[in-house]
Amino acid sequence: MISPPMPRRVALISVHTSPLAQPGTGDAGGMNVYVWQTATRLARRGVEVEIFTRATSSADAPVVPAAPGVTVRNVVAGPFEGLDKRDLPAQLCAFTSGVLRVEAMHKPGYYDLIHSHYWLSGQVGWLARDRWGVPLVHTAHTLAAVKNAFLAKGDTAEPMLRVIGEQQVVDESDRMVVNTETEAYELVSMYNADRSLIDVVNPGADLEIYSPGSRSLARAELGLADDEIVLTFVGRIQPLKAPDVLLSAAAPIIERSRTQGRKVRVLVVGGPSGTGLAQPTALIDLTAELGISDAVTFLPPQPSDRLAQVYRASDVVAVPSYSESFGLVAIEAQACGTPVVAADVGGLSVAVADGHSGVLVDGHDVEDWTAALDGLLATPGRLAALAGNARNHAEQFSWEHSASRLLACYSDAMTSFAARNPGSIAAASVRRSARPWRRHRTRVPAGQG
């Protein structure tokens, strides 16, 4: 029996944000975590991963050996600072040139496959695919049509430039990776994608870092009182993520708690991003308007080990986003044994088991969110039961499972591309990698994980 092909080296493209950046700042978020965690897991399976990202500082080294088997290449494209995602289309020519030049320094066939993340990267990957003769796998992470259909109040619609760019990438990709079946449906219904070319790969969490621990020790480390009820938001501060919904919903709970002799605190962890940069003090101003400034603590984005302490210190983590392709925060919190209250949108309906590990709220009406939070806080037994189930639910979503599914996707992409292009570099790579199955016992077959 012949084993399916496995890539030796993958060119992973992440134009607008580096996996080495701190999530929760600027444009860095869940995609950073996804890129880094899958890259390192693939490297552990014997796949060399080279990540191309845009240099954002003159201090960025051109090549960074980031982990065993993982190299980050900082490509100079435009000014180092002062550009956000909306400015980057004008720099795609320069970025693409930098990517192509790296490959040109090697013999043909240096990369076996390209995996692009976000539509900007897909534009680069599409051109590199044609130049190198290897398949392009694309992950959108978010889609303009979906964001525009569920636009947050006060937010700005995604431009037609992006919608058209995403359509081009969908049309050109050899395979696409999505987080959930919901996202697959959105690609088919909104972008006319071919469902047979879409693979569902659930993201995960680092289950070693994000694990249950002492709430008292976590609170002591964060300067929180043991007798407080702590409601937490983690993420980029922008209308899409809706931290204002949590603050507004918590306000009447905080007011009542003052007369009942109990303490309720809202913890907001993250930094302004995207359209939120236009009003960086908006949440602080809102807490003042609501009269709850003394009950809200703002923390900057946290490294993963300290973020785990934030989750452990919390009674509930809220994810009120208007649009979310998956919701890594929800999985990370549950992995730490903390129940989640989330909006019933996108991938959150998969990330949170409604009534088992958390609660899903239909919509963003503040009164509905107040009722959902109140209902949990008023029934400690139910809250404890959700907390007890949270870890077990999160264990279904590990980065090891994600890596296994990605390898299966890569194998399918290489095989089908080679069949369509028998004289291509990819075809030669597939022939070279063909070995008896018994020689690859560490390889996880497609369908597992």
Residues 291, 95: Cα–Cα separation, whole Å: 48
- 167 and 41 in a common domain: yes
pLDDT band at 428 (very low <50, low <70, confident <90, very high): confident
For the chain, how big is the Rg over CA atoms in Å?
A: 22
- 250 and 146 in a common domain: no
Residue 112: CA count within 13 A, CB half-sphere: 23
Q: Output the pLDDT for position 273.
A: 58
Residues comprising the binding site? 16, 22-23, 27-32, 85, 118, 142, 162, 236, 241, 302, 311-312, 314, 324, 332, 338
Residues 415, 198: Cα–Cα separation, whole Å: 15
Contacts of 67 (CB under 8 A, 6+ apart): 39, 40, 43
Between the two ends of the chain, the Cα-to-Cα distance in Å is 22
Residue type (1 letter), 284: I
Tell whether the model's pLDDT for residue 440 goes beyond 50. no
Pull the structure tokens for residue 366. 């503040």
Residues comprising the binding site for Mg(2+)? 311-312, 314, 338
Contact 219, 306 (CB under 8 A): no
446 in a structural domain: no
* Higher pLDDT, residue 101 or 425: 101
321 in a structural domain: yes
Residues comprising the binding site for UDP-N-acetyl-alpha-D-glucosamine? 22-23, 30, 236, 241, 302, 324, 332
pLDDT band at 437 (very low <50, low <70, confident <90, very high): very low
Residue type (1 letter), 146: V
Residues 347, 325: Cα–Cα separation, whole Å: 5
Per-residue pLDDT averaged across 340-359, rounded?
A: 96
Per-residue pLDDT averaged across 39-50, rounded?
A: 97
Domain tally, the chain: 2
Q: Output the pLDDT for position 261.
A: 80
Domain range holding 259? 215-395
Q: Output the pLDDT for position 169.
A: 98
Q: Identify the domain boundary among 364, 395, 426.
A: 395
- 173 and 80 in a common domain: yes
- 319 and 181 in a common domain: no
Residues 103, 388: Cα–Cα separation, whole Å: 50
pLDDT band at 443 (very low <50, low <70, confident <90, very high): very low
430 in a structural domain: no
Residues comprising the binding site for 1D-myo-inositol 3-phosphate? 16, 27-32, 85, 118, 142, 162
- 182 and 40 in a common domain: yes
264 in a structural domain: yes
- 171 and 32 in a common domain: yes
Residue type (1 letter), 123: Q
% of the chain surpassing 70 pLDDT: 93
Nearest CA-CA partner of 417 in 43, 14, 114: 114
- 99 and 17 in a common domain: yes
pTM (predicted TM-score): 0.89
Q: Output the pLDDT for position 155.
A: 82
Contact 48, 8 (CB under 8 A): yes
Place of tokens 């995602």: 85
Q: Output the pLDDT for position 447.
A: 39
- 116 and 242 in a common domain: no
**Average pLDDT value for the chain:** 91
* Higher pLDDT, residue 58 or 292: 292
- 407 and 370 in a common domain: no
Q: Output the pLDDT for position 29.
A: 75
Residues 19, 315: Cα–Cα separation, whole Å: 30
- 75 and 25 in a common domain: yes
H or E stretch at 427: helix 425-433
% of the chain surpassing 90 pLDDT: 77
pLDDT band at 277 (very low <50, low <70, confident <90, very high): very low
Tell whether the model's pLDDT for residue 243 goes beyond 90. yes
419 in a structural domain: no
DSSP for 343-370?
ES-TTHHHHS-BTTTEEEESS--HHHHH
pLDDT tens digits along 119-138: 999 999 999 999 999 999 99
Per-residue pLDDT averaged across 234-248, rounded?
A: 93
Tell whether the model's pLDDT for residue 280 goes beyond 60. no
Q: What is the CATH number of the domain that holds 155?
A: 3.40.50.2000
Pull the structure tokens for residue 217. 């020790």
Residues 227, 263: Cα–Cα separation, whole Å: 7
376 in a structural domain: yes
- 228 and 170 in a common domain: no
Compute the CA torsion angle 106, 112, 116, 117 (nearest 10 deg): -110
Pull the structure tokens for residue 54. 């845009």
417 in a structural domain: no
- 175 and 32 in a common domain: yes
pLDDT tens digits along 135-168: 999 999 999 999 999 888 778 899 999 999 999 9
Alpha-helix runs per DSSP H in 201-346: 215-222, 243-260, 282-290, 304-313, 328-335
